[in-house]
Structure 1
Amino acid sequence: MKHQKNNNGFALVTVLIIIVIFTLLGTVLINISFTNAKQLNKTEDNMQAVDLSEMGIIYYKNAFIKNAYNTFDTAVSTAKSELINQGREITVDNILNELSISVNDFKLPIRIPKEIPVSTHRFEIIENSLSISSRNLKVIFESNGIMNGSTSKITATINLNIEEVIDTILNGGSGTGDGSGSSGNANRGKTLMDITLSKDGLNDCTTCTKLKSGTVGYFYKTLTNNASIHNTIAYISGSLLSSNKSNSSIKNSHLYITENVDFENLNAGVEKLKLFVGKTATIHNLNGTIKNSTIYVTKDLIFHNKVKEIKNSKICVGGQLTAKSFPEPDDTWKEGIYTCMRFGNINESGNDSGTDVSTVIEEIKSQVEKGEITYN
C-alpha cells in the first residue's frame, strides 16, 4: 500500500511561525517608535524650558532697570535741589555724596512675573541677593523656565554703576520733540554746568537797591533795574525786577539769582549771558535774538511774546515753559531747549508731553554690551 505525505500541515505551521515572528518584531518596533517620540517630546520640552528661562531673564532685567532708574531719578532730583540751596556745583560726585538711597528702595513693588493660570508652561523669578554700595547696585537672581515638568534654571547678575546712572540722568542724551513744529527739540535730563556762580570773592553791597551795568558784586536782597545790563557779574540773594526800556538788552553778563526774575523789555536782545534763576523767570517782551547764551530756570519760564530767534544757546527749564512760539530749529540753533533734571519733553504751550522713563532702557544698552549685565 502506498503512503501519501501531508505537506499542507507543515506549510501551515511555517506560516504561523512567520506571523508570530513579524508580530513580535512589529511590537518591538512600535515600542521603539513610542520611546523615540517621548524622547523627542522631552527634548522639545527641555528646549522650551530654556527659552522660557531666558525670557524670564530679559523680562526681569528690563523691569529691574526701569524701577532702578525711576528710583535714582527721584533721588537725584532731591540731591540736586539740596546742592542748589547750598550754592554748590551740580556734579556727579556732589550728587553721589548727597544721594539718600537704600536697598529697600530698589525692590520691585510687585512679584514678577505672575504665573500663567491653568498652564503647564511659565517662568518664575527668584531674587537671591540685592546689595548696594557707594558706587554699585547689584542684584543676583535666577529664572526658572518650566514646560510640562521640564525645568531650566539660569542664574544672572545685573550690575549698575551708580556714577554712570547719575551721569545718564544728568546728561540723558538727545531726545526728540513732540512733532508740533515750532516747539523744536526738547532733550531729556540735560544739565547746564556753566551757569554756577560763587559769591566768594565778590564785593558785598548791603545798601544797593539797583543793578547797574558794569557792576561786580554780591547783593543781599531784591534789586530793581530800568536799563540795559552789560558787563555785569552779580550774585543776587533775592529777586531781580527789571522795568527796563523797550530797547534794552543784556550782554556779556553772568547773573545768579536765587529767587525770581521779571524783565519788562529785552527787545534789543540777549547775548553772551549766563543766567541762573532759582525760581520763576518772566520775560514780557523779547523781540531780539537769544545768542551765545545759557539760561537755567529751576521752575517756570514764561515768555509773554514770541521768541524771535535762538542762536547757539541753551535754555534749561525745570518747570513749565510757556511762550507763544519758538523759532524753527535750524543749523544756528546749536543746543535748543531742554528739560532740567527729569525725563520727558516740554512744548510751547507749557505742557509736559511725557515722562517715559522706559526709553532709558534703550539708552543703557551699552552697559549690556560692556558685560555689566551677564549670564552666569
Structure 2
Amino acid sequence: MREDRLALTHVGEHQSDYLNAVTPPVFLNSLHIFEDMDGYLNNGKTGAYVYGRVANPTVHILEEKVAALEQGCTAVAFASGMAATSAAILAVCKAGSHIICMRDVYGPVKGILNGYFIPKMNMTVSYWDGRDLGELEGLICDETDMILLESPATFVFCAVDIRGVAKIAKEHGIRTYIDNTYCTPIYQKPLTMGIDIVMHTMSKYIGGHSDIIGGILAVKDEELGNVLKGNIRAWFGGIIGPMEAWLAIRGLRTLNLRVERHQQTAMAVAEFLESHPKVTRVFYSGLASHPQAELIGTQQTGHTGLLSFIVKGTAEQAKNLVDSLKVFEIGCSWGGFESLALCPLYAASGEELDFLGLGEEGRSMIRIHCGLEGADVLIEDLKQAFERI
C-alpha cells in the first residue's frame, strides 16, 4: 500500500529539525535543557523532551512510523519484546485479574505468566487452543481482563479468527493483545480488526539485520497509549535505547521489500518440503494445504519466512539433519537476513508436547527461517542434508 511505503520512508521525519539531514540523527543525550523555568514547568503541555527514560527524539520517530503502519494513534517502544509484553499486561491487568492466553504463544510469555504474574500478583490464567470461539467464551469470567493472542502462532502456525475474538472481547469489556511479529504490519493489521494492543519484537523483521533487541506496542486508544508511555514505561524505565531505535528505523526502510523476498523464498521451500518423501508435515501459513487457508486469506495479505516441518523419522534424525545443513545456521531467533534452523522441541517434556497438541512427533520438528540467500540455495542445502539421514 502507498501509505505503508510512505510510513516506512518518511512518516515522523522532519529534516528541518536536524540541519536537513536526509537520515535523522541518533539523539544519544540523556537530558534536554530549557531556556527558562517556565519552559521547564510547562513541558507537559508543550510535549517538550526532558529526560531519556521518558522519551527520546530518535525513539519518537520510530514510534510515529510503527503507529502509522499499524493504523493506530500511538506506538510505544521498549528495550525488548518481553518488556513490551509485560508492559501491556501491567497496563491492563491488576492483582487478581484473569487472563486468557492462547496456548501457542511465545514460550517466555507463558513463562512470565506462570512464574511471576500468577504467584506474585495472584492472577489466574486459562490457556486456549486459539481455534474454538465457543470454548473461548466459556473461559470468560467476571475477573477476565485480557486475552493474549499470536497469529499465526509459534511452531505450527495456526491462525486465530482475529475479528471473532475481538468481537467477543468487546462484548465483555475485555482488552485484547496480539503478537504480530510474524506477519509484520505489511501483511496484517490487527488494530483494524478490533484488537486493542499489537506487539512486535523488533529483533525480527522490523530490525531485519540481527543486530538489535527491542519491542514495540501500537494502539488505537489514546488513553491506553498514554498509560503505556507516560506511566508504565516511564515508571519501569523500559524505553529502547536511541541507537537501537535508529537501527530499527533503518530496518523499516526496506521492510516491505525484505518480507516480500522472504515470502517468495519460504513458499518455494515449503512446496519443496511438502513433496519430499522424508517429510511428514509442513506448517506454513502460505500453503494452500493449510487447514485454515480460508481464514488466513481474510486477515493476512501475505506471509513471511518462518515455517516448520516434521521429519519422517526419529528426533535424533531430525537433529542430525539440522547438523548437516551448511547454509542454514543454528540459532533460536529469526527475521534477519540469515537462514536459520533448529529443533525447538527436541528436549521438550512429554507434558509440553501434549500441551502444544503435537505429541512425541513434535521432537522431530524442525523450524527454519528462510533468509535472503535465495530459494535455490536453500533447497540445495536441504537436499544434501536429507541425503545424510
Q: Which of 1 and 2 has higher RCO (CA within 8 Å, sep 6+)?
A: 2
Which has more helix, going by share of residues?
2
Structure with greater strand share of residues? 1
Which range, TM-score by smaller chain? Answer: under 0.3
State which structure, 1 or 2, has the greater radius of gyration over its C-alpha atoms: 1
- TM-score (normalised: structure 2): 0.25
